Amino acid sequence: MAAKTLYDKLWDAHVVRQNDDDTCLLYIDRHLVHEVTSPQAFEGLKLAHRKVWRVDANLATADHNVPTTQRARGISDPVSRLQIETLDQNCHEHHITEFGMNDPRQGIVHVIGPEQGATLPGMTVVCGDSHTSTHGAFGTLAFGIGTSEVEHVLATQCLIQKKSKNMCVRVEGQIPLGVTAKDMVLAIIGKIGTAGGNGHAIEFAGSAIEQLSIEGRMTVCNMAIEAGARVGMIAADDKTVEYFRGRPYAPKGDNWDAAVQAWRDLKTDSGATFDKEVVLNAADIKPQVTWGTSPEMVVAIDGNVPDPEKENDSTKRTGMQQALKYMGLKSGTPIRDIRLDKIFIGSCTNSRIEDLRAAASVVKGKKVASTISLALVVPGSGLVKTQAEKEGLDQIFKAAGFEWREPGCSMCLAMNADRLEPGERCASTSNRNFEGRQGAGGRTHLVSPAMAAAAAIAGHFVDVRELN
């Protein structure tokens, strides 16, 4: 049999039917649902008098709109409230399990899926959200879909898909001290660009990727979409198996043994070929900071804001000029001289327990700089929050002057009350620095949790490696 990539294996195992053209009907094992991209899909279902095909394959939560303070009071914004009530109503009507706003298991959809073991190795996982690529971290085929496709999955448990090309991003060598999964993925995007993975499914491989914890792998796969790839994947290994052992939705007993055996094959065969390959050396990666309005506009902490005049491509040059104008930055400015107004530690990229531990270890015993008007920690889920509190991390953050909030998307996209005001500058552990993403006129710099924590203390960017 011909050698297959991980993507080939996952794809082939889920083909229900090959159509006459190059599309397939692909079976979906897990569908995650949230309030923003589902209401129109449920409405479409109702209008066509269709039912949900396989109720137990769906799991829903409210995350994008939920307030991160005083939940007991409900949601004051009537538009947000209606959207969340609509989700509650739809899940109730169709008997779909939902972790509603006040459920202790509620959280960001991409945090709770793996946390519950509801997304497992070998599955196909979809959600009406581009960061569904996160779930690829354990040898899963996971990708974001639009609302029409949400309706399609609800109605048929399948999607009509065309296979992407295979791409491999290999990171080799020892990860330097103070460098995290976030820095790795930002460095990858800086190298291949935000369109570098368009049309491809990316497998992240190499010894540096293998060294990462499962949570770190999720951070890397989360941002595959920022490199243009709908799918990011990492082979399953022993760490993957250990991660899922005992999780609520994970298989039990004989099923567990059979599952683990099947998961052992979730890797690219030796000799399989990729359409595109990129190699990075882990030793070259330093803590990263974005300076512009696209995740590819990124430099190392010891670098400077670049000069558009040195860019030969005219469209790129204009893009850089527009970005500098929007960001209020001058070319040549050392990154460490950039002063911040707000700090956001959270989002589906970096809101899991290891992220909070990393940030807390930088913050411990120190104070947030007086020039920082707001420093937020928003855990990814209710269970992450509880765990962090058990470890006393909340106390460390609060003593330093951080606010400790309820779980949700929060200032990652500012659909709730947490946002930047025009002109405000933020060190954020999220994944998108687009114009207005964290609030109209707001300026976002993407960094790792440790870098965000260090910036909170200093009031400007600093190299975490120098704090150790």
How many helices (H) does the chain have, and how many strands (E)?
15, 19
Closest CA to 344 of 387, 385, 373: 373
Residue 219 in contact with ligand SF4, rule: CB under 6 A:
no
Beta-bridge mates of residue 276: 167
Please pick, from the candidates 348, 375, 396, 420, the single residue that binds ligand SF4 as defined by CB under 6 A: 348
Q: Which of residues 93-122 bind ligand SF4 (CB under 6 A)?
A: 108, 110
Residue 16 in contact with another protein, rule: CB under 8 A:
yes
Residue 103 in contact with another protein, rule: CB under 8 A:
no
Q: How far is CA 284 from the centre of its chain?
A: 24
Q: Which of residues 154-193 bind another protein (CB under 8 A)?
A: 155-158, 160, 162, 164
Residue 58 in contact with another protein, rule: CB under 8 A:
no
Q: Quick check: helix, strand or coil at residue 241?
A: helix
Q: Provide the minimum distance between the beta carbon of 39 and another protein in the complex, in angstroms, as a whole number.
A: 4
Please pick, from the candidates 6, 9, 10, 29, the single residue that binds another protein as defined by CB under 8 A: 29
Q: Which of residues 123-142 bind ligand SF4 (CB under 6 A)?
A: 129, 131
Q: Which of residues 435-464 bind another protein (CB under 8 A)?
A: 435-437, 440
User: How many CB atoms neighbour CB 328 within 10 A?
Assistant: 11
Residue 65 in contact with ligand SF4, rule: CB under 6 A:
no
Residue 195 in contact with another protein, rule: CB under 8 A:
yes
Q: Which of residues 366-425 bind ligand SF4 (CB under 6 A)?
A: 409, 412-413
347 binds, among ligand SF4, another protein, none (CB under 5 to 8 A by kind): ligand SF4
The piece of 15-23, 282-290, 392-400, 460-468 that touches another protein (CB under 8 A) is 15-23
The piece of 19-27, 106-114, 344-352, 375-383 that touches another protein (CB under 8 A) is 19-27
DSSP letters along 382-407, please? HHHHHHHHHTTHHHHHHHHT-EE--S
Q: Which of residues 312-351 bind another protein (CB under 8 A)?
A: 315-316, 318-319, 322
∠ CA 201-206-207, rounded to 5°: 150
3-state per-residue secondary structure call for 150-186: HHHHHHHCEEEEECCEEEEEEEECCCCCCCCHHHHHH
108 binds, among another protein, ligand SF4, none (CB under 5 to 8 A by kind): ligand SF4
Write down the residue that tokens 């137990």 correspond to. 56
Nearer to another protein, 1 or 48 (CB): 48
User: How many CB atoms neighbour CB 238 within 10 A?
Assistant: 9
The piece of 42-50, 107-115, 350-358, 400-408 that touches another protein (CB under 8 A) is 42-50
Residue 272 in contact with ligand SF4, rule: CB under 6 A:
no
Q: How far apart are CA 429 and CA 452, in angstroms?
A: 7
Q: How far apart are CA 207 and CA 221, in angstroms?
A: 16
Residue 4 in contact with another protein, rule: CB under 8 A:
no
Please pick, from the candidates 5, 58, 68, 83, the single residue that binds another protein as defined by CB under 8 A: 83
Measured CA distances, 284 to 188, 197, 209, 279, 452 (Å):
11, 21, 14, 12, 21
Q: How far apart are CA 231 and CA 10, in angstroms?
A: 12
What are the backbone dihedrals phi and psi of residue 300, each rounded to the nearest 5 degrees, phi first?
-80, 155
Q: Provide the minimum distance between the beta carbon of 289 and ligand SF4 in the complex, in angstroms, as a whole number.
A: 19
Contacting residues toward ligand SF4, per CB under 6 A: 63-64, 108, 110, 129, 131, 347-348, 409, 412-413, 430-431
